[in-house]
Chain A
């Protein structure tokens, strides 16, 4: 076989080599916390790695649901996530209602942002809404003082549309490469006025901006909905097919940031000792994922029982230590819902 048949010029294009998507869980497959939740405040609600970042004016006014309304997803996808406005709220002043993924800085260091060698990125996604018009999209750096704001247009209501946005890398600004936030990929739905909005589009600028002036504010329309899947951010000026990872790979990537063990009605941790005398201490280690983003992760354990002198500590080498100052007699701990939060 001629060499040209094996190694074509197309195959030499950078986008065709290796792992491409900087987004984790872009196909919205994993939702360890819940599949539906009220957006009661800023926080991670349903699909892994996607943060709802909202002003308190919008607390408990919307719902976030994996596979909202059981729609047929776009071709080659099985899942999506949807936002629904349950109570309309006027967006006035310096407010915001954002759906975003914060990419860890260690995962974008190769982009060389903040230098003259900054690489171009292409963002692609499938989106659908009950509303039409120009919606806000932003890339922002970790320290939140550099923003690139643009819009994408949804031309037909209730129809999946694929959008592609190409953005030249930022050649200035402070772009960190630690385990904090490196690049925020933001979809704005309520900040088209006030401090967080801008009419300066399609170029990098100073400040934290998450909305294009005059863009759609779905927070103001009761029962409005917005759905997304297939989010991909890749190096280069060309959008390639969505990179579908194996289930296990994607799960592992998600679990660097959040891990949960929950089997309805079953103990995921059970530990019991009987002491003849008070004042004894015990430490037992249970397995947990190694290499989560931070060693100082929060451990949430429910229910726990027997006494107040119990603590849970995560260790990046892959354990949870349970310390207990025991009381005289029977001492036991159990948990049916155990999670470790190392999110950004």
Chain B
């Protein structure tokens, strides 16, 4: 019988922080911008320039550290990581090796019905590098330092994950936590979140870890899942063939669904880390930590617990809604205004999700206000509009955040509440459709539907279908 293998995975996750200015200078961190326009002597490594730490970066790092249950260092320091590459203007990166800001944390993940803790070894602050642009035509490389000095945290997990599912669950969990904190938008595709996968395999039941490889260039959850599967198989094949796994860094090519060796352990650079002499140690007081803790928003897991108690909505819906802090905010505000959380939840779960999918949008991109959604709920609850009109109005709200009350008024979409007018129409419909009337009396329930349809059409959709149904039965 073939041997059973277990996959052991640890992650190094880089997260670009939402600070408006860079970590060591006051240049803008805004994405885009013409090359080298968000730069100054500090982030281009000009001789004589000196770094000054951005306090906001430390606050974001503390907030994340607390949210992932880390111990926050009372004194942390920066170190220089020395390596030559043109995207790095000083030829050293300011990072944290010896005294990182946070250590010993964990996050709880859920896969299927099982819950598990993934431990976090440490988290440190560092600066991002610039970007090289290779001009094949001209056979030159150009460098853009706009991203140089953009603040990052690197979150290093323990090797606690055993499958691609667990890795994705861990990343999604980190993402939600950090997005909830407003500390980053965590977009893998745009590079504001980057994950390197350390993976090894071992025979099931053994204690010792196998030799691991590190996989880089993973730009989506799907790529990560594929890379993990691919690397697991590659390592098992090696072991089955009696060969050894070599400790190396590999680059994943998602188009070819294969990975390639970048550098082996032997070529591993000696980064010659040493304490950054241009920065003083960061002293973090208990008061500062408590202030940040007090400002922490309610995180997703806490929100879920609360929704269970406060709102009568299915757990599944609560999970979807709290998946995005923005959507949860809309839900809570709209529910507070109209007092109908279940209705609000329905609008979000059905129509909003459908429209997001149609437009290829993320929940973060929802641009309508909770006030307008609440007004729409009220309009339907008060039977001011019928459900098909409500859907039409909601599309307008979703696209342009229109005020539904004004919109309904302006477009004359209000339901006809004048029973006299309805009766007039019904009389005419009955008179014009003797066949249908006959069928109805002959016991064909379906015929009533045709009559209701005729009536709704004559009323330009503004009648309450329930009311039409009832009146019609009476009159027939």
Bound together? no
